């Protein structure tokens, strides 16, 4: 039956940046769909683990700073030693630095590009190699942004990184679709998390944003849940290289 296609029983899902925000919402959803979830964070993911334990779901935690490339192997080994295999990678961890383009430092540029783009590639590559070994395919879900489509204001490195991640999603999908690995992305709209606290603290900016969202509200981590389960499941096996906007209609306007 069609709803069975969405079940993730027996699957192992790795979610980066799972301690808070959208990563927490997606990790909870994947666990609710039946996956064992590896929560990756640079600090404790106890809050997320508590939410998963509350409904009897299964998860483990891997502490890793994703600004360091050594973390790629640490994440994969942590997942394999906990559950023996991996099936789903959600590249959610990301940072944003708001500053006039004219004043952006090289250090801040590199920090954003490293976490938001380079680590997404390196983790995807390491997981795809593991998926090949397991020979049962796999799912990679990247987290893009409205700024994969638009320029934004005062976030040039972030826009560059998220635009690149949308392109990378297509590039990897083309190479790995024949191996049964689907690479897709979700582009969240304006969501109420730490990432947007500065915007939401600015009453005028916040009002202008809400006014432009057809749905008339900020998104929430729960708004990501249906889409991530779909892209992680058999239900999306013939979907490759696509970026799904979960944006309350922002891009339609
Ligand atoms: P968030 O609350 O700031 O979450 C970002 C996550 O990434 C946090 O768990 C953060 O850990 C983690 N992270 C950042 N740098 C890391 C590092 N070096 N090592 C390990 N983890 C690291 O914001 P969010 O909105 O949930 O963001 C999740 C993703 O959605 C990001 O890729 C973001 O760009 C994207 N996104 C968000 C929005 C939005 O409106 N909120 C819109 C479009 C796209 P810490 O908690 O330790 O910082």
Residue with tokens 């499941």: 233
Q: How does pLDDT run across 45-97, given as a tens digit for each residue?
A: 999 999 999 999 999 999 999 999 999 999 999 999 999 999 999 999 999 99
Pocket of ligand 1 (CB under 6 A): 17, 19-23, 41-43, 65-67, 92-96, 115, 143, 145, 188, 190-191, 193-196
Is this prediction's pTM over 0.95? yes
Q: How does pLDDT run across 129-149, given as a tens digit for each residue?
A: 999 999 999 999 999 999 999
Question: Token pair of 116, please?
Answer: 């938001």
Atom of ligand 1 nearest to the CA of 21: 26
The catalytic residue among 83, 158, 190, 230 is: 158
Q: How far does the centroid of ligand 1 lie from the alpha carbon of residue 191, in Å? A: 11
**Residue 158 annotated as catalytic:** yes
The sign of the torsion formed by the CA atoms of 201, 207, 209, 214 equals positive
Assign 41 to helix, strand or coil.
strand
User: Domain boundaries in the chain?
Assistant: 2-192+221-246
Pocket test for ligand 1, best of 78, 94, 148 (most atoms within 8 A of CB): 94
CA distances from 213 to 66, 123, 243 (A): 32, 33, 19
Q: How far does the centroid of ligand 1 lie from the alpha carbon of residue 22, in Å? A: 7
CA angle 82-83-84, nearest 5°? 110
Q: How does pLDDT run across 18-27, given as a tens digit for each residue?
A: 999 999 999 9
Q: What is the mean pLDDT of residues 154-183?
A: 98
Radius of gyration of the chain (CA): 17
Q: What is the mean pLDDT of residues 230-245?
A: 98
The CATH code of the domain at 2-192+221-246 is 3.40.50.720
Residues 6+ apart with CB under 8 A from 175: none
């Amino acid at each position: 039956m069609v709803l069975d296609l969405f079940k993730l029983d027996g699957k192992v899902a790795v979610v980066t940046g799972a301690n808070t925000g959208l990563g927490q919402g997606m990790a909870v959803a994947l666990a609710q769909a039946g996956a064992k979830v590896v929560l990756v964070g640079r600090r404790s993911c106890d809050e997320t683990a508590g939410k998963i334990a509350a409904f009897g779901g299964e998860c483990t935690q891997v502490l890793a700073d994703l600004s360091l490339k050594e973390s790629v192997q640490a994440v994969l080994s942590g997942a394999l030693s906990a559950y023996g295999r991996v099936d789903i990678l959600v590249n959610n961890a990301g940072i944003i630095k708001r500053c006039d383009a004219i004043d952006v430092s090289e250090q801040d540029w590199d920090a954003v590009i490293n976490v938001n783009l380079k680590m997404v590639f390196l983790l995807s590559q390491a997981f795809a190699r593991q998926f090949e070994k397991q020979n049962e395919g796999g799912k990679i879900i990247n987290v893009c942004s409205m700024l994969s489509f638009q320029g934004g204001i005062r976030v040039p490195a972030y826009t560059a990184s998220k635009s690149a991640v949308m392109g990378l999603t297509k590039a990897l999908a083309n190479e790995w679709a024949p191996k049964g690995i689907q690479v897709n992305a979700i582009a969240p709209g304006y969501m109420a998390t730490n990432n947007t606290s500065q915007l939401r603290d600015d009453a005028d900016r916040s009002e202008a944003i809400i006014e432009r969202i057809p749905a008339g509200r900020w998104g929430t981590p729960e708004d990501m849940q249906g889409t991530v389960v779909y892209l992680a499941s058999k239900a999306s096996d013939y979907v490759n290289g696509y970026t799904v906007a979960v944006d309350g209609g922002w891009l339609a306007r």
